[in-house]
Structure 1
């Protein structure tokens, strides 16, 4: 069972990508206060947990009922990532700082979705808990591995203040645009994989 837990942990670590989420969190919340950053980190992790747990329990049932293939999630996620990547590259980082609850929207999008609860992570939890192949105990182990990765992700975001003191505001602006380019490139990879372009080119 520990071997199963470790394998699931590695796959979920790769798809949730706590280090990549930390880089995105660092750039997007650099202008928020310490308490606001903490709220964003906790909210983003909570929202992502609810989304991934829902996908784990209900994802396969809903997709089958709607006749939706798993690969469609990857294609849709790639399009969303590309649009947000463009927004990060060309928008003014100062925009949106006057909302009634600063950082609330960041916790929902893009941190909870599609960064933490990414299309890859959603697909992973659905595949790893295949109702036709996995027992309830095995599915519980996968849920435990998912929770562990999310707790690590939250912990990294909570200590991000140390990073802010090093990079400053100018550094955060650079990170936002660099992450936008990375997200745009990643979105193209997701779309190409979903459409099978890489297979045709190989």
Structure 2
């Protein structure tokens, strides 16, 4: 039991990669105060947690209902991520951090949903891993353990994001710009990797069907 829980946690930790989310969180929440950052962090982990729990409980049914595949998630997620990365590198207004205004609550939710919850926390890798772990779970007890692991991971991610304020203060305005551009390049590479993996899996499926 303990071994299964540890394996599930490590698998989801690696696919969600909380450490890599921190610099992105700093960039997209630049200009927000501490309370607003806290709201974004909390909403993002809640949204990601709900998504992963939903796939833990009904993963196969969700995929079958919409007639889509994990490969499609990877390609679509990669394209959206690349658009964000392009804006971060070249200063597109679409990727500039949202500033609270007349619809501050909506702006904060938008940041929390994309790109933090989707596709960073609950991306194709984490969703695929959740469905796989759910399929390997032994009965409802195994599913409950998996849900507990997801909730623990989201709590850990939230704690990590709460420490990002200190990192942001150390970076300053210049450091934040440098990190934003560098992260944009890395994010673009990650997006291409998502797309490449999705296309490769599509090709493998076609090859199997033709064989």
Question: What's the TM-score, normalizing by structure 1?
Answer: 0.88
Residue 71 of structure 1 deviates from its aligned partner by 2.2
> Do 1:32 and 1:103's aligned partners in 2 also have CA atoms closer than 8 Å?
no
**Residue of structure 2 in register with 1:184 after alignment:** 188
Question: Which deviates further from its counterpart, 59-68 or 177-186?
Answer: 59-68
Cα root mean square deviation, aligned: 2.2
Q: Which residue of 1 aligns with 2:207?
A: none
**Per the alignment, do residues 186 and 71 of structure 1 end up closer, same or farther by CA in structure 2, a change over 3 Å counting?**
same
Tell me what 1:111 maps to. 116
* Partner residue in 1 for 2:160: 156
Q: Per-residue deviation at 1:140?
A: 1.5
Distance in 2 (CA, whole Å) between partners of 1:66 and 1:163 is 41
User: Which blocks of at least 5 consecutive residues in structure 2 are unaligned?
Assistant: 205-211
Q: Is the 8 A contact 1:45 1:150 kept in 2?
A: yes
Matching residue of 1:60? 60
1:122 is matched with: 127
Aligned match of 1:24: 24
SS at match of 1:173: helix
1:73–1:123 CA contact under 8 A, matched in 2: no
Return closer, same or farther for 1:135/1:35 CA change in 2, 3 Å cut-off.
same
After TM superposition, give the deviation of residue 6 of structure 1 in Å. Answer: 0.7
Q: Are the structure 2 counterparts of residues 63 and 174 from structure 1 closer, same or farther at C-alpha, using a change threshold of 3 Å?
A: same
Kindly indicate which of the two structures has a greater share of residues assigned to helix: 2
Question: Which structure's relative contact order is higher, taking Cα pairs within 8 Å and 6+ residues apart?
Answer: 1
Q: Which residue of 2 aligns with 1:36?
A: 36
Q: Deviations over 1:17-43 (max 9, x none)?
A: 110111211222132111111111111
1:103 and 1:56 map into 2 onto residues whose CA distance is 27
TM-score using structure 2 length: 0.85
Aligned-partner Cα distance in 2 for 1:169–1:59: 42
Alpha carbons 1:78, 1:188 under 8 Å: kept: yes
Match of 2:208 in 1: none
| Alpha-carbon distance between aligned partners in 2 of 1:89 and 1:178, rounded to the nearest angstrom | 8
Contact kept in structure 1, 2:29 and 2:98, CA below 8 Å: no
